[in-house]
Amino acid sequence: MTHRPVFLYDTTLRDGSQREGISLSVADKLQVTSLLDELGVQLVEGGWPGSNPKDVAYFERVKELPLKTAKICAFSYTGRAHTHVEDDPNLLQLLAAGTEIVTIVGKSWILHVNEVLRVSREQNLVMIGNTVRFLRSHGRRVIYDAEHFFDGWRADREYAQETLCAACEAGAETVVLCDTNGGSLPWVVGEVTAAVVAATPAAVGIHTHNDGELAVANALSAVRAGATQVQGTINGYGERVGNCNLVSAIADLKLKMGIICVTDEQLGRLTEVARIVAELCNLSPDTHQPFVGVSAFAHKGGIHADATVKCPESYQHIRPELVGNRTRVLLSELSGKGNLLFKAQELGFSDNLGVDEARRVVEQIKLLEARGFSFEAAEASVALLFRRNRVQYRPPFELIDFLSLVEHRDQRGLLAEAIVKVKVGGCTVHTAAEGNGPVEALDRALRKALLPYYPVLAGIHLIDYKVRILDGDKATGATTRVLITSTSGNDTWTTVGCSDNIIEASWQALVDSIETGLWRAGVETPVVPPGDPGA
């Protein structure tokens, strides 16, 4: 374990929010800031106060947060070519943000100097130096981001280095090498960073984009060459295809390179933070994201699962608990005995799982998956397979028949109605209900029948309904898989149904969902309502 520290610089609130589809409110940005602080991130780039009113409001409100670790940075470009720094509105707003640390981005690639800024080489150096010097004169600590540095180095390494020198001589405490176009390779980044570290008096940081899917690798290569600051975003969010994924970088730095960047306790929150930030960005968490995705430590193949049950490190590069994740074993047509035993233990069925029961469950899963079922995302349906194969199992209700109708009426337009007949508590109950569609009508009719016998159902609700067509070439005769997610408020579960009839597939998932809710609520037998013939 090396004791050389590496400082984490998060730019989710600026660079990350430039991803297509992300728009964070001020409240969202404040919540992300608190999460980053709890994670142990030392520097949080709050935004560009000169660009929009929302960022101005953020810098005012963030002062009220009781931050323990994170320091907030405000961001801007260097001053303009033909404007005195004292009169530059962007720099004045940067100062008005009131942060101890500011980050300035400037040009290091001669192509940008000539074609984008359209100033001379010397004027660009003056702009960098004057901007840093002005901010230092107002008591600010300055981080200088050298935009397009690796492209600039390839074009004219002497000039690229001169831009860093201009920032350092003016008082920048850290210069950051930016792979802005995201096209560099790890060994190139390492070689260039090593050369810069040797020639630069200030600390050196790294800022990488993921256009070549190498952003994390490039950042680690730079650290190996002497960089002591890593810039990135949570989950790798950013413009185009994204930035260095700070989540993966943190795990790699600490667990693979032995570099101190967060505490063990903070590392254990990595999965939680990644998923909360995804939700705040209104994006589904990436299930296959390294370290923190729900599939990051999921095992489907029988050989893998069997080995993982016996020896977890045999098919896992780290213990998932280190980053707040967990091992999952999936049940499918590829499952073997190891998968089943692990899943039975996980779901609480291992103590009295007989050999015959285990064999029946495996065979049922394989037969059902051959018909189009998939249990990877529907563990509640797997749990019911275990329950239903127990000798003592008694269903909480039994379907006699159901009818589902959709019709168009003159005055009301489209209308769905369902009629359900079930056996519950020794009685036959016959109910009907309407809904916006046939599935909602079935759900209401079934609940209407069961609620007097199982009052706990009043607190159980459907929250998601997904349909997947498995063989679209069969047109309207295609097989349909339905996933239903339900919640009791404190617990959430997903069940699956599959049929060439979408109503039947929905019914299967719906019944499993309601039975799971009853089981998880600890309700094994129905109450007998007043007036019932069985009372």
Give pLDDT, residue 303.
59
Phi, psi of 493 (to 5 degrees): -150, 160
**Which residues have CB under 8 Å from 197's CB, separation 6+?**
204, 225, 226, 227
Place of tokens 């060994």: 187
- What secondary structure does DSSP assign to 465-522, as a single string? EEEEES-GGGGGG--EEEEEEEE-SS-EEEEEEEESSHHHHHHHHHHHHHHHHHHHTT
pTM: 0.73
Cite the DSSP H helix spans in 315-413.
Answer: 337-347, 355-370, 379-388
| Distance of alpha carbon 97 from alpha carbon 415, whole angstroms | 57
More confidently predicted of 54 and 266: 266
29-46: per-residue pLDDT in tens? 999 999 999 999 999 999
Q: What are phi and psi of 73, to 5 degrees?
A: -115, 140
**The pair of three-digit structure tokens given for residue 297, joined into one six-digit string:** 């430590």
Q: Is 490 a residue whose pLDDT tops 50?
A: yes
Range from 176-190, 244-258, 409-423, 484-498 carrying the lowest mean pLDDT: 409-423
Mean pLDDT value across residues 477-485 = 83
Residue predicted with more confidence, 330 or 444: 444
Q: Is residue 509 pLDDT above 80, yes or no?
A: yes
Q: Do strands 413-424 and 427-435 pair parallel, antiparallel, or not at all (unpaired)?
A: antiparallel
pLDDT given for residue 3 in this prediction? 56
Sign of the four-CA dihedral 363, 367, 369, 373: negative
Of 141-155, 211-225, 321-335, 447-461, give the lowest mean pLDDT range.
Answer: 321-335
54-65: pLDDT as tens digits: 899 999 999 999
Domains of the chain: 7-280 (3.20.20.70), 298-388 (no CATH), 398-520 (3.30.160.270)
The whole-angstrom separation of Cα 316 and Cα 325 is 12
Q: Rank 141-155, 290-304, 445-459, 490-504 by mean pLDDT and report only the highest.
A: 141-155
Residue 499 has pLDDT above 70, yes or no: yes
Contact 495, 513 (CB under 8 A): yes
Amino acid at the residue 468:
R
Model confidence at 175: pLDDT above 60: yes
In tens, the pLDDT along 360-371 reads 777 777 788 777
User: What average pLDDT does this structure show over 352-366?
Assistant: 68
Q: Element (H or E) spanning 55, and its range?
A: helix 53-61
Does residue 262 sit in helix, strand or coil? coil
pLDDT-derived band of residue 474, with 50, 70 and 90 as boundaries?
Answer: low
